[in-house]
Amino acid sequence: MIEAVIFDWAGTTVDYGCFAPVKAFMEAFAHYGVPVTMEETRKPMGMLKRDHIRTMLHMERIAAEWKRVHGHEATEEDVDAVYAQFEPKLFSILDQYADPKPFAVETAAKLREMGLKIGSTTGYTDAMMNIVVPKAAQQGYAPDCWVSPDGAEGKGRPYPYMIFANMQKLGVTSVRNVVKVGDTISDVKEGVNAGVWTVGVVEGSSELGLSQEEFEALTPQEREAACRKVEESFREAGAQFVIRNLSQLPELICALGN
């Protein structure tokens, strides 16, 4: 009996393609003379943002380029420096990237009609969420609760603790009664580590990395190939289910025995 669905935010329910953090990360690294690609930037997506920067600084190419430009291997001080650039850049654009994705509002309403509670986890901090949450609510998307890494003693994804905090807030009886939905490998690992049903959503995901206009401009064959590649990534990370978009979620939950 499914009691609750726990969604991610950017790339899953808001911000089609998860572009706000990508833009801020790329600008922050460029500020320090180490341009990074969109592919590199998206690989750790879903993690706590400071952890995300640390992970990028340890990627082989970026680590070598950082050492070449700065004369030393990246340190925790460098993590702090990049984050100090990243955070204000993200804050300056967050309110522009809080629009609900297609089917998010309707799916949330349908899930509530089914008697389900709606939680959420994120790689954003509390301060970032205080911008995103009201903007999304103005446009009709408002989960029952949300937990950032700040609400889990700084332990964001792939740790399971934000999911457990949601379960506690929502009064859910068992991990077997929870579905986690996300758009990144970190999301999937979070769900797997928590022992809940784990679902990857493809369209508008960070893993797909396309804007809605770019996705819709693809030929049917290109679209199918791109979606299949993302699905394979989610399944390799441990997702039990993969859906193309959120409109397919209520039917999946019914199949799980709601």
Cα–Cα distance for residue pair 5/251, rounded to 1 Å: 13
**Contacts by 220-223 with C-beta closer than 8 Å and gap 24+?**
none
Half-sphere exposure of 150 (CA within 13 A, CB side): 10
DSSP code, position 91: H
- The 3-state DSSP class for residue 241 equals strand
- Token pair, residue 79, equals 């993590």
DSSP code, position 160: S
- The 3-state DSSP class for residue 126 equals helix
Among this protein's residues, is 8 annotated catalytic?
yes
Sequence-ordered list of residues with C-beta below 8 angstroms from that of 169, at least 6 positions apart, any chain: 119, 144, 145, 147
Among this protein's residues, is 49 annotated catalytic?
yes
Check 15, 23, 43, 49 and give the catalytic one.
Answer: 49
DSSP code, position 99: P
In degrees, rounded to 5, the angle at the alpha carbon of residue 108 between the alpha carbons of residues 114 and 215 is 130
| Active-site annotation, residues | 8, 49
